[in-house]
Structure 1
Amino acid sequence: MTASTLVRPPRAATPMAFVQAIVKGYARYGKDPGEALRAARITPKELWRPGARVTAAQFEALNEHAMQELDDEALGWFSRRLPWGSYGLLCRASLTAPDLGVAIKRWCRHHRLLVDDIALSLSVAGGIATVSIEERRDLGPLREFCLVSSLRFLHGYASWAIDSRVSLREAAFPFAAPPHADAYALMFTGQVRFGAPRAGFSFDERYLALPLRRDERALRQMLRRALPLTVLQYRRDRLLGQRVRELLRTRGAELGSAEALAAALHISARTLHRQLQAEGLALQGLKDEVRHAEAVDQLRRTRRPIKQIALAVGFRNEKSFARAFRQWTGMTPGEARRSAG
């Protein structure tokens, strides 16, 4: 087997419906999309083939050509054009923010200066941050593409700005599941919900406190491409260690293996171990940390038998629990309970 046979072709995952939406944008301006389609290597036959998909590279090439040819980065979504460079202005206006929370608020505020067809907002409640879109006019046949793209632009910018994957808990859309609904899981991590009151996505509030890690030079380099925000994926998650701890505390019984934890985080087990190692952490160490904290808490707060506590925190028997507890604290569980009074 030669090396060339091992190279896999790029995966075609972007729904052709989004390509067709760009063609509708051309129709709005009375222009021919042929040159843009040729730049993206999309044939007329493929364009209308049911269930067809294109690669991320094809879609990015199409967007870049269309945005410049139409001089509209919104590709016909709104009642006025967003001339080439408009989203660059949004990125630049948020770049000097001290943290991601301020950057997102600036993005939402400045977006309203560009168009009033939709309004983006950020809210925080119960430890969850939510970006929502209010539709202020009928977006017509470009509605799905507009809402999806608007959320992906902001999500992509947020991930780029802090140089970390912003893992979503949920992405919601105010329309029925389309025929290509399976593609949404590739565009948005976390649960995808259709038929919601508004479009939006939610994520852990702690991302908002992370500082921006990009500068003007990095921004200029990023903006050389038309839509890196829609296709660029960030594998590193700067809150991964905290999110693993939280899952182990709340769902440790069902997520005991690396594979189960990784699936809940929408990454592979290999990526989980690699990213934890990059943070100076190990999965077993986090498990021990959570077990230790829970064991100490139960020993202090309850009078439950030590055997029951051992089983509750994930040990097979009292003996293995006592051995691990002594390694953590230098005391037996019984000594720890007595010292706590």
Structure 2
Amino acid sequence: MPPAGRHGRPVDLSGHPQRFRRGAAGVRAMVEVGAEHGVDARKCLHDTGISPAMLHGDTVVSGTQELAVAANLVTATGSASGVGLAVGERLSLRAYGVWGFAMLTCPTVRGAVEFGMRYLPLTYAVTGLDMRVSGGEASLIVDDEGSSAALRPFLVEREIAVTAGILRTILGESPPSMRVEFRVPRAVSVDYEKALRTPVRFDAPHNAIVTDIAVLDLPLPQSDPLTMTVCERACRSLLSERCSPCVAQNVRTIIAEGVTDAELIAARLHLSARTLRRHLAGEGTSLRHLLDEVRRAKAIELMTMHRLSVEQIALRLGYADAATFIRAFRRWTGTTPGAHPSRHKWS
């Protein structure tokens, strides 16, 4: 069972939903929609640690980075209604890899919903989902508690569009009884019924997809118990990998112990050097950046707390001579050790 918060909210082992890592398809979809609205990719990715080149291949990003991209997109488009729907439409079941394939092979709609919520951290969701049954209807509610007010409309639209699309895909069509409900008033500039291919109500108690309870027991046309078992095993493995502390933080710890060689660091993490570089790139950093980060912090500590000379600090940090260290320090801080603000504390 994966770690989960209230109402199926995806969390990592530290309890922070935004820190969970996922593929870059969600970010890629936002950049594509941004481009349609005249927003440059670099503007969407500004100050997120993600470059346009990282949007291809198997890059992994954090939920925090994805939320930052969402904030950039919402700001750049002026919080335009319908942007979340457009992003959600791009996240087809295929974009979810083994999680999506497993959903197809579940025995019933109920089984697929339960499976999907059990492994929700493997999706691009940054909200939670809660299934409730009442009065002969089943409601899959988007739990937007904790979302910022500025992002809430975008995130709700996106999750509703994604979930409605997944339901259509696993059944082959939209259930006749299905409807979508939004808590907000209708935006006249958006044809929600056309975008979601289902009736839509506004000023509702919840943001939800609602259908007749009988839909939960509909068999799925591609159900395959054996394939589902194999897929679930893969999902458990992937979940374990992505729930673990981020690679960058582990690398920082190893560097702080004095290990700076890439091969040795990778070996400590049971990775190849190439895989280590890929993981770090997915987290928006690099080994050189982390080395600089740790060395800079250590250098300032040695200057302020231990009153060491530049030559002694250079030796402690593994530099060949003081001049090499000074050049590195200038690159990190824009100044020399002697001119750094911390200098007065030990001079």
TM-score (norm 1): 0.39
